């Protein structure tokens, strides 16, 4: 057993460094100031981080769509409001555009595991479920026919390894899905494909 290792010292240093660098800019011992109950409050607040990242990515995706679809640009305030009104995990699509143009989108903020170049098995399973839902529809969504809509799987871009993980995902899809999924690279949109868009 390594007698020089001290768990509390390591946890304290990592916590204080994070708070100093990311939040306050002031070097202090935040760790020692907090009670267990206050750490629990922080833990509870951090559960919403995923929803915050998803929300911000969805807003950026609406801006991305506005540059490519005039209808979305003309009605983007409507779609911003839709995102504001949608509760996390409501079992629908993360974004639905209906009217002159029909678009459905799922937004994912999965960081490849261990900063690696592929998604973990649970992440991959979730992404495949979303791709299938975009192609075939969802039982709780009756307002839009997926066959009549442009389909997007939007993934937050954590850097080069995100693109590599997406390539790895597509390469390992079953043959039926593989031909229906592509990374968007400026090509014309067609309705029988799911376009993967990386958003920063």
| Pairwise CA distance, residues 16 & 91, whole Å | 38
| 44, 49, 52, 54 alpha-carbon torsion, rounded to 10° | -130
Nearest to 62 by CA among 48, 74, 47: 74
- Is 28 part of any domain? no
- Is 6 part of any domain? no
- Is 33 part of any domain? no
Contact 120, 113 (CB under 8 A): yes
**Number of domains into which the chain is organized:** 1
Which pairing describes strands 103-108 and 95-97: parallel, antiparallel, or unpaired?
antiparallel
Paired residues of 153 in beta bridges? 106, 196
- Is 11 part of any domain? no
Paired residues of 155 in beta bridges? 108, 198
- State which residues form the domain around 187: 49-199
Contact 118, 168 (CB under 8 A): yes
Each of the 200 residues of the chain gets a pLDDT tens digit; together they read 557 899 999 999 999 999 999 999 999 999 999 999 999 999 988 888 888 999 999 999 999 999 999 999 999 999 999 999 888 767 689 999 999 999 999 999 989 987 779 999 999 999 999 999 999 988 777 778 999 999 999 999 998 899 999 999 999 999 999 999 999 999 999 999 999 999 99
Q: What is the pTM of this model?
A: 0.86
């Amino acid at each position: 057993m390594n007698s020089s290792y001290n768990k509390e010292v390591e946890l304290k240093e990592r916590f204080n460094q994070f708070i100093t660098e990311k939040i306050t800019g002031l070097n202090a011992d935040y760790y020692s100031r907090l009670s267990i109950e206050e750490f629990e409050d922080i833990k509870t607040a951090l559960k919403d981080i995923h929803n915050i990242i998803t929300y911000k990515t969805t807003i950026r995706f609406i801006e991305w769509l506005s540059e490519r679809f005039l209808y979305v640009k003309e009605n983007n305030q409507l779609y911003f409001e839709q995102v504001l009104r949608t509760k996390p995990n409501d079992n629908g699509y993360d974004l639905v555009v209906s009217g002159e143009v029909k678009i459905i989108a799922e937004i994912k903020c999965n960081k490849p595991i261990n900063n690696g170049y592929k998604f973990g098995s649970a992440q991959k399973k979730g992404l495949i479920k979303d791709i299938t839902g975009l192609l075939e529809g969802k039982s709780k969504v009756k307002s839009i026919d997926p066959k009549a809509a442009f389909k997007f799987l939007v993934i937050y871009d954590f850097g080069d390894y995100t693109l590599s993980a997406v390539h790895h995902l597509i390469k390992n899809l079953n043959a039926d899905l593989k031909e229906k999924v592509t990374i968007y690279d400026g090509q014309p949109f067609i309705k029988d494909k799911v376009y993967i868009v990386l958003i920063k």
